[in-house]
């Protein structure tokens, strides 16, 4: 008599008790609801006998726990986010949680629509890279006691859970590594995203340049421009500043465009320039020259984010928000050891 399609109604009818009674027993509320031990035992024995599998959506609507988490990232097709997603997914599965992914394209409307969709469908928590004005929606989630952990960027004035790297320190590490390898005229190529991680990378760069009194030039590309336009601007920048001996790129995506610009325009200079990139990527190992990177510890970011998520899920009361800034690791490769300038 094993039938997965059996319902609570069937169980109640078979045992001559009410649906509510069965529901209380199945949701561990028998004692609280003063169901007799005899009835409780009868229900549990029958449920085991018929191998009753509760509909998990119905169950989640009752218990308020779906064991489903949402991971909403800026762009799931970007290697950095795709790899981070993978680490998060692996931890979730180990803990018996399923995880759903989506991209918000750093767009508020898309973010809000997606969050609303998931809220209606009962999910337990959100890990997300917030779009620029998502604070009100996150506050709404907080009020509803739904845990949220921000990734990669945060809001200066809000007290939300967040896991990322110390971006300012990472930029300084990059500049100081270049300096140690005798690079002294450093370019910085970044993008005009109004995001905390991008501002911090720029700030850290400026501070390190000032501290060591180095020569620097900066190019801040427009996010809305096409890749082709960005490549052309990088070419112009490199031509205009032929005195630069090294470049720090603020994301792996920009490094890719920069390598393409150099390969197309001036392959010789590609071998002479010191190059260092935020975010590691397996292809940076096999490029020629292989590229030195400021590697974000994706495994640790995922681990910390999930630790905070589970701490919040396990708690019945409000938990203080945590802001975690992890250290970046320098992956030393050929691109910063090619020549000794002076």
Does residue number 100 form part of the binding site for its own copies (CB under 8 A)?
yes
DSSP string of 14-42, one letter each residue: HHTS-HHHHHHHHTT-TTTTT--HHHHHH
Rg, Å, the chain Cα set: 26
Nearest approach, Cβ of residue 262 and its own copies (Å): 9
Cα separation, 131 vs 15, whole angstroms: 53
- By three-state DSSP, how is residue 330 classified? strand
Q: Give the number of other CB atoms < 10 A from CB of residue 105.
A: 13
Among 225, 224, 167, 161, smallest CA distance to 195 is for: 167
- By three-state DSSP, how is residue 146 classified? coil
Does residue number 234 form part of the binding site for its own copies (CB under 8 A)?
no
Nearest approach, Cβ of residue 118 and its own copies (Å): 9
Per-residue mark of binding to its own copies, 10-39 (x: CB under 8 A):
------------------------------
Residue number, 66 or 246, with CB nearest to its own copies: 66
Nearest approach, Cβ of residue 26 and its own copies (Å): 17
Among 9, 14, 31, 82, binds its own copies (CB under 8 A): 82
Among 114, 178, 254, 302, binds its own copies (CB under 8 A): 114
Among 6, 35, 43, 85, binds its own copies (CB under 8 A): 85
Does residue number 56 form part of the binding site for its own copies (CB under 8 A)?
yes
Among 213, 282, 316, 318, binds its own copies (CB under 8 A): 282
Residue 152: CA atoms inside 13 Å, Cβ hemisphere, count? 24
Among 7, 62, 79, 182, binds its own copies (CB under 8 A): 79
Residue number, 154 or 284, with CB nearest to its own copies: 284
Does residue number 256 form part of the binding site for its own copies (CB under 8 A)?
yes
In the 3-class helix/strand/coil scheme, how is 272-319 assigned residue by residue?
HCEEEEECCCHHHHHCCCCCEEEECCHHHHHHHHHHHHHHHHHCCCCC
Residue number, 41 or 65, with CB nearest to its own copies: 65
Kindly indicate which of the ranges 23-31, 100-108, 179-187, 317-325 contains the residues binding its own copies, using the contact rule CB under 8 A: 100-108
Burial 125-154 (b: 16+ CB within 10 A, else e): bbbbbbbeebeebbeebbeeebbbbbbbbb
Query: Which tokens belong to 216?
Result: 């620097």
- By three-state DSSP, how is residue 213 classified? coil
Q: How many residues bind its own copies (CB under 8 A)?
A: 40
Among 97, 92, 131, smallest CA distance to 114 is for: 131
Does residue number 309 form part of the binding site for its own copies (CB under 8 A)?
no
Binding site for its own copies (CB under 8 A): 55-57, 68, 75-79, 82-83, 85-86, 89, 93, 98-103, 110, 113-114, 116-117, 120-122, 256, 259-260, 263, 281-283, 285-288
């Amino acid at each position: 008599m094993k039938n997965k399609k059996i319902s609570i109604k069937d169980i109640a009818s078979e045992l001559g008790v009410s649906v509510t009674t069965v529901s209380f027993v199945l949701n561990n509320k028998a004692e609280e609801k003063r169901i007799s031990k005899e009835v409780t035992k009868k229900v549990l024995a029958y449920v085991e006998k018929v191998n009753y599998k509760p509909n998990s959506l119905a169950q989640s609507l009752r218990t308020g726990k779906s064991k489903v988490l949402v991971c909403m990232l800026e762009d799931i097709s970007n290697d950095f986010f795709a790899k981070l997603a993978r680490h998060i997914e692996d931890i979730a599965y180990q803990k018996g949680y399923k995880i759903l992914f989506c991209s918000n394209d750093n767009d508020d409307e898309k973010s809000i629509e997606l969050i609303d969709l998931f809220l209606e469908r009962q999910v337990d928590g959100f890990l997300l890279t917030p779009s620029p004005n998502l604070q009100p929606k996150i506050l709404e989630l907080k009020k509803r006691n739904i845990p949220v952990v921000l990734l990669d960027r945060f809001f200066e004035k809000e007290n939300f859970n967040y896991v990322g790297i110390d971006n300012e320190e990472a930029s300084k590490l990059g500049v100081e590594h270049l300096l140690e390898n005798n690079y002294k005229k450093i370019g910085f190529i970044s993008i005009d995203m109004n995001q905390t991680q991008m501002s911090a990378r720029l700030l850290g760069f400026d501070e390190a340049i000032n501290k060591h009194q180095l020569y620097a030039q900066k190019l801040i590309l427009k996010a809305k421009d096409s890749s082709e336009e960005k490549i052309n601007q990088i070419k112009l920048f490199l031509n205009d500043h032929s005195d630069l001996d090294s470049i720090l790129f603020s994301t792996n995506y920009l490094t890719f465009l920069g390598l393409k610009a150099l390969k197309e325009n001036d392959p010789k200079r590609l071998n002479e320039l010191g190059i260092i990139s935020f975010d590691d990527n397996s292809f940076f190992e096999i490029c020629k020259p292989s590229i030195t990177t400021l590697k974000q510890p994706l495994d640790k970011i995922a681990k910390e984010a999930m630790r905070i998520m589970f701490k919040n899920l396990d708690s019945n009361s409000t938990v203080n928000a945590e802001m975690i800034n992890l250290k970046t690791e320098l992956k030393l490769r050929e691109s910063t050891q090619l020549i000794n300038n002076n």
